Amino acid sequence: MSEKLLLKGGRVLDPSQDLDGVRDILLADGMVAALGEQIDAPEDTRIIDCAGLLVTPGLIDVHVHLREPGGEHKETIASGARAAAAGGFTAVCAMPNTDPAMDDPASVGFVAAEGRRAQAARVYPVGCISVGRSGERLAPVGEMVDAGAVAITDDGSPVTNSLLMRLALEYAQSFGIPVADHPEDLSLSPSGQMNEGLVATRLGLKGKPNAMEDIHILRDIMLAELTGGHLHLQHVSTRFGVESIRQAKSRGVHVTAEASPHHLVLTEDAVDGYRTEAKMNPPLRAQTDVDAVRAGLADGALDIIATDHAPHHYDEKEAAFEDAPNGIVGLETAVGIVLTRVVNEGVIDLATMVERMSCQPARAFGLPGGTLAEGSVGDVSVLDLDAQWTVDAAAFLSKSRNTPFAGWVLQGAPVRTIVGGKTVWEAAREDVREDAT
């Protein structure tokens, strides 16, 4: 019989039950055994004093790149799962653009098994839409779902062929999983390096216009409308994209969508000086786009905050801009960035943050968690809203350091991450007191 945990006296914020108040939570057998105002500890229970801390259903990041197999110098499933836990996440969804790509049940099963072995955040594999991510024919979706896949995507690349996207949206309905797409019309700027506009012109870099993303978002929405399938749009970055999703939802189209922390707080100006740590795809856009993504997050046009955690080895990013790969790590900065630059700036309230980082991800991807209701899975994030800290990339548990947020002073940090009723990570801090009974 495993040890029980009693989280004592924390501010429990669980939008799934409209709950925001001081409560105790008893975790036993991997589940939430009890939630109440005053719970007495049964025998064999470790009591964790959570007074002054925020206790939420475990945060879930539906968009991370863990690089294994094929890119183990950037990240492994184990290092990524630990980085996730250190970032306050109890679960992540691993993108399949590995080498080889996760396009069959064996590779999906490998990621699921490695994820379990890591004993950190849960790792849910996402399978490819197409065999080899080549955009030609449907991968064995049913077998991948049997092996643990919770969604399908060709992320890293868009699904260019409209018929393939239609078939995926139809076929996936048998399994109740979302079809996630990286919306980008590559033909419009095959070698674009950053957002199209004045900064790109000044730097002499090829631009990517918003229209690349907008065209693809509209097409995907039309196909979702045609098929009734569940479309999930990844890392939405444009004002027109946000508005298109908002309108589609009002028509009843089954679409969910992500915003990435960096698209909520940074503009293309971060690229000036050829800063490769601000190179990503979709690129950082103009202020009007950032404003629209923030508004979309607030009104629900965008359902989910997902980091698009994209580790790269330091010497891959230390190159001329056009030779550097896209992407930044995000797992260990997301909570601090969202609290400091989105919640504390009044864009969304704390409850909406928990909605966007826990409840909605669980709902959209059909995952356990997203709630602390009795009987649900014992995945809990404990945050300290008062903690002031400075982003130190060298201290990341991720194997990579490619962040544009190094040196940022943030307010609010994860202090304990509990998965299946067990603490998988805790901050080396004084203010989390622990006594065994």
Partner 1 sequence: MNPSVSSLGKDLVGLEDLSGDQIISILDTAEPFKEISERRIKKVPVLRGKTIVNLFFEASTRTRVSFEFAEKRLSADTVNIAASGSSVVKGETLVDTARNLEAMRIDMVVMRHGSSGAARFLAERIPSSVINAGDGQHEHPTQALLDLLTIRDHMGRIEGLRVCIVGDVLHSRVARSNIYGLLKLGAEVAVCGPPTLMPPAIQELGVTAFTRIEEAIEWAGVLNVLRLQLERMHGGFVPSLREYNRIWGVSSQRLAAAPRDVLVLHPGPMNRGVEIDSDVADGPHSVILNQVTNGVAIRMAVLYLLAGGRQESAEAAKQGGEA
Which residues would be at the binding site for partner 1 (CB under 8 A)? 196-198, 200-207, 209, 273-274, 315, 318-323
Give me the least distance between CB of 392 and Zn ion, in Å please.
27
Residue pair 209/189 in contact by the 8 Å Cβ criterion: yes
Residue-by-residue DSSP string for 84-115:
HHHTTEEEEEE-S-SSS---SHHHHHHHHHHH
Give me the least distance between CB of 184 and partner 1, in Å please.
18
Nearer to partner 1, 318 or 434 (CB): 318
Nearer to partner 1, 287 or 388 (CB): 287
Binding-site partner at residue 274 among partner 1, Zn ion, none, CB < 5 to 8 Å by type: partner 1
Q: Tell which residue, 359, 314, 321, 412, has the closest CA to residue 52.
A: 412
Binding-site partner at residue 132 among partner 1, Zn ion, none, CB < 5 to 8 Å by type: none
Nearer to Zn ion, 133 or 182 (CB): 182
- The residue to which tokens 């304990």 are assigned: 416
Taking CB under 5 A as the criterion, the residue among 65, 182, 219, 230 binding Zn ion is 182
Q: Cα(260)–Cα(302) distance, rounded to whole angstroms?
A: 10
Give me the least distance between CB of 290 and partner 1, in Å please.
17
Binding-site partner at residue 198 among Zn ion, partner 1, none, CB < 5 to 8 Å by type: partner 1
Residue pair 433/49 in contact by the 8 Å Cβ criterion: yes
Give me the least distance between CB of 316 and partner 1, in Å please.
10
Residue pair 84/120 in contact by the 8 Å Cβ criterion: yes
Give me the least distance between CB of 315 and partner 1, in Å please.
7
Q: Tell which residue, 39, 6, 46, has the closest CA to residue 435.
A: 46
39-67 CB burial, b ≥16 within 10 A, e <16: bebeeebbbbbbeebbbbbbbbbbbbbbb
The separation between CA 384 and the C-alpha centre of its own chain, rounded to angstroms, equals 20
Interacting residues of 154 by C-beta distance below 8 A, sequence separation 6+: 96, 97, 128, 129, 130, 133, 135, 181, 182
Interacting residues of 315 by C-beta distance below 8 A, sequence separation 6+: none
- The residue to which tokens 């699904």 are assigned: 159
Of 308, 349, 392, 435, which is the active-site residue?
A: 308
Give me the least distance between CB of 285 and partner 1, in Å please.
13
DSSP code, position 330: -
Binding-site partner at residue 196 among partner 1, Zn ion, none, CB < 5 to 8 Å by type: partner 1
Q: Is 181 a catalytic residue?
A: no
Binding-site partner at residue 394 among partner 1, Zn ion, none, CB < 5 to 8 Å by type: none
355 token code pair: 């909605």
Any contact of residue 155 with Zn ion (CB under 5 A)? yes
Nearer to partner 1, 281 or 376 (CB): 281
| 354 three-class SS | helix
The separation between CA 114 and the C-alpha centre of its own chain, rounded to angstroms, equals 19
Q: Cα(433)–Cα(276) distance, rounded to whole angstroms?
A: 41
Nearer to Zn ion, 55 or 168 (CB): 168
Q: Cα(238)–Cα(293) distance, rounded to whole angstroms?
A: 7
Q: Cα(231)–Cα(223) distance, rounded to whole angstroms?
A: 9
Nearer to Zn ion, 182 or 285 (CB): 182
Q: Is the peptide bond before 368 cis (omega within 30 degrees of 0)?
A: no
Work out the angle at residue 176's Cα, subtended by the Cα atoms of residues 172 and 177, and round it to the nearest 5 degrees.
65
Binding-site partner at residue 121 among Zn ion, partner 1, none, CB < 5 to 8 Å by type: none
Give me the least distance between CB of 185 and partner 1, in Å please.
16
| 401 three-class SS | coil
Enumerate residues 302-321 that contact Zn ion by CB under 5 A: none
Taking each helix axis as running N to C, give the angle between helix 210-227 and helix 239-250, from 0 to 180 degrees, rounded to the nearest 10: 10
Nearer to Zn ion, 70 or 204 (CB): 70
- Binding part of the chain for Zn ion, among 9-17, 174-182, 216-224, 318-326 by CB under 5 A, reads 174-182
Binding-site partner at residue 182 among Zn ion, partner 1, none, CB < 5 to 8 Å by type: Zn ion
- Binding part of the chain for Zn ion, among 102-110, 154-162, 220-228, 422-430 by CB under 5 A, reads 154-162
Give me the least distance between CB of 209 and partner 1, in Å please.
8
Nearer to partner 1, 182 or 317 (CB): 317
Binding-site partner at residue 155 among partner 1, Zn ion, none, CB < 5 to 8 Å by type: Zn ion
| 250 three-class SS | helix
Residues with catalytic roles? 308
Please report, as ranges, the residues that interact with Zn ion according to CB under 5 A. Answer: 155, 182
